[in-house]
Chain A
């Protein structure tokens, strides 16, 4: 069957089960979009307000569904607008395929209108880039893009296609998706060694990250915790794997982690790191991190082993495969003294409520939890509200906490919430944001309205850029450089202007009342929550510090 390059793109997307894409059209992408029109019954295209929103939407879609996110953009500014979104996915190892159109091959290198070498720009923020200026290379590039995005440690891939290729004709031969690269091979001796260390440990702790949800190893991890009676702490990327009420769950680790998690890691004699990379927000001081413990690291990416913290034993392996082989070797253990000590530490939190306002961040989050079900997907932007959401949400499910961890992208939330909701039309999506983050990309309200997405946006509005403001309060002598913008934005009115619904709340009762109303709406709702600017995210270990430097209240 003879098809155009654009039809070939559509056919290969269908081969990979893609039924939803996000994007924004433009001059060089006209052929691609003409084909998306032709295929509109098979592939749903979600038009965003800005390409950055489209990239975050594809990312959020992937995080909340486990599928590969696909985003389209035109050349030049369309392509460069994707960059922050692609980088966000790259830092959090999210599978994404970005397809950009470029100027016709005859104009490449001439600084043509809207020409940019996006493959060059995207090289450091993708697993791989393809530049396709020959129709015969297109099918291979597309099929390999899906293979690369989903093999090993996942991540984004970009394909840049010249406009002439999108119109050129070629014979299309259907094919199955390429097999993924085989996962790393590891030896029985390595599994035995790790099992022996776990069996011998007196104060073991498991520290796990995004590699656990990425390999779907939640069930195996929970069994390990139970059999060996080990407490666990998670990174921002792994909320929801171990149930909130599980006594062995010590919560978030690191800079804004729980007192229990950070103390337990400091006292432990064995730290088993699963799919986690000892980032500078976890091992704030790599030399003092878990200083009494032997450290074992299991990661699918060899380059992560010994990258940030030197470990005593490392195994390159898929976490699920490793745990599956490890579990039969683990002896039933009773660490009740150790677990109950950790549980005792859990009683102390950093929830110091600032009395300058009647509504407090922890109450907002807890109230949302109370009024929503376990299937709810929580999406955040970046800043104080993100940490409060991470700390106070009753995370219960894998893939239900969508947040930008590694890159920390303010403005991520609304696009990601749109992607999460499009991918899960039957689930409730609640988007936590701050007035700072939300101002970055609230333009996507028009997308949520036109797509009729019932996303509830909870704006924790302290009228300052809270996280930086908090650091300035603590470390910069209250010199508030560029964090008190004196904005007068009326969020409920702005919501109405977009065709959405807007509410405001300034005390807990009011918040509950309007949140209940928001749950009844068929389209997007914003709730403007007045909180005090002096609310702080606590506990906090300053950058480069250790557990003894923890600020609690």
Chain B
């Protein structure tokens, strides 16, 4: 088995019921699966929720996280979303200290990254930006020379291109 460390995005369709997130996250905790992010959301089917997990590890680790999670009674489907045929998005909200001296310089960067300024006050502003994680990382790097006050990122959510998961 390949021992190289890779990043994978895993999509899990689960029963939409109480404790489902606890079941999945406690499994990750007790088996020592290290995850980068986890998001949960509703789907077009009221009975199902969708959990998107970003996992960094070896092929053996990936096989473990997928097969152990698949054993949970609440898990209806689990699969990896490969970067070539999937769309990943993450939302970033970032509050930066800014006043009349540097506001327009920041706005220029925000525009290049197709972000939006969603709140403005005398000495700070809040930026909203979506994209894949690399884009958000790059944006934060660009803003690092300013005084960042608060950052909030949702973690990746993702969807496969073409046919839907239950048609594949």
* Residues of B58-103 contacting chain A, CB below 8 A: 60, 63-64, 67-68, 70-73
- Decide yes or no: A302 and B30 within 8 Å by CB, A120-B22, A128-B73 being known contacts: no
Give the complex CA separation of A148 and B68 in angstroms.
Answer: 15
Residues of A within 8 A of B71 (CB): 127, 152-153, 301, 303
Contact of A148 among B23, B26, B73 (CB under 8 A): B73
Residues of B within 8 A of A306 (CB): 1, 60, 63
Residue among A124, A153, A303 with the highest chain B CB neighbour number at 10 A: A303
Question: Contact between A303 and B60 (Cβ–Cβ < 8 Å)?
Answer: no
Mostly helix, strand, loop or mixed at chain A's interface? mixed
For A188-203 the 0/1 string (1 means CB < 8 A from B) is 0000000000000000
A123 within 8 A of B: yes
Give the complex CA separation of A303 and B75 in angstroms.
Answer: 15
Question: Contact between A123 and B73 (Cβ–Cβ < 8 Å)?
Answer: no
Give the complex CA separation of A131 and B18 in angstroms.
Answer: 10
State the Cβ distance, B16 to closest chain A Cβ, in Å: 15
* A-B Cβ contacts below 8 A, count: 33
Question: Contact between B30 and A307 (Cβ–Cβ < 8 Å)?
Answer: no
For A115-158 the 0/1 string (1 means CB < 8 A from B) is 00001100110011001000000000000000010001100000
- Decide yes or no: A123 and B67 within 8 Å by CB, A306-B1, A306-B60 being known contacts: no
Residues of B within 8 A of A131 (CB): 18-19
Residues of B within 8 A of A175 (CB): none
A310 within 8 A of B: yes
Closest to B30 in A: A124
Question: Contact between B64 and A123 (Cβ–Cβ < 8 Å)?
Answer: no
* Residues of B11-57 contacting chain A, CB below 8 A: 18-19, 22-23, 26-27, 30
Is the interface on chain B under 10, 10 to 19, 20 to 34, or 35 or more residues?
Answer: 10 to 19
Give the complex CA separation of A152 and B71 in angstroms.
Answer: 10
Give the complex CA separation of A152 and B70 in angstroms.
Answer: 12
Question: Contact between A127 and B26 (Cβ–Cβ < 8 Å)?
Answer: no
Question: Contact between B73 and A307 (Cβ–Cβ < 8 Å)?
Answer: no
* Residues of A314-352 contacting chain B, CB below 8 A: none
Question: Contact between B19 and A310 (Cβ–Cβ < 8 Å)?
Answer: no
Give the complex CA separation of A306 and B67 in angstroms.
Answer: 11
- Decide yes or no: A303 and B22 within 8 Å by CB, A124-B30, A128-B73, A310-B1 being known contacts: no
Question: Contact between B67 and A302 (Cβ–Cβ < 8 Å)?
Answer: yes
Give the complex CA separation of A123 and B23 in angstroms.
Answer: 7
State the Cβ distance, B30 to closest chain A Cβ, in Å: 5
- Decide yes or no: A303 and B23 within 8 Å by CB, A124-B30, A128-B73, A148-B73 being known contacts: no
Question: Contact between B63 and A123 (Cβ–Cβ < 8 Å)?
Answer: no
For A296-309 the 0/1 string (1 means CB < 8 A from B) is 00000111001100
Question: Contact between A307 and B26 (Cβ–Cβ < 8 Å)?
Answer: no
Closest to B71 in A: A303
Question: Contact between B67 and A303 (Cβ–Cβ < 8 Å)?
Answer: yes
Question: Contact between B73 and A127 (Cβ–Cβ < 8 Å)?
Answer: yes
Q: List the 10 closest pairs (A to B, CB-CB), nearest first.
A: A303-B67, A128-B73, A302-B67, A303-B68, A124-B30, A310-B1, A123-B26, A306-B60, A148-B73, A306-B63
What are 16 contact pairs spanning A and B, CB under 8 A?
Answer: A119-B19, A120-B22, A123-B23, A123-B26, A124-B26, A127-B71, A127-B73, A148-B73, A152-B71, A301-B71, A302-B67, A303-B63, A303-B64, A303-B67, A303-B68, A306-B60
Not counting A124-B30, A310-B1, a sample of 10 additional A-B residue pairs whose C-beta atoms are within 8 angstroms of each other reads A123-B22, A123-B23, A124-B26, A148-B73, A153-B71, A301-B67, A301-B71, A302-B70, A303-B64, A303-B68
> Which residue numbers of B lie inside 8 Å of A, CB to CB?
1, 18-19, 22-23, 26-27, 30, 60, 63-64, 67-68, 70-73
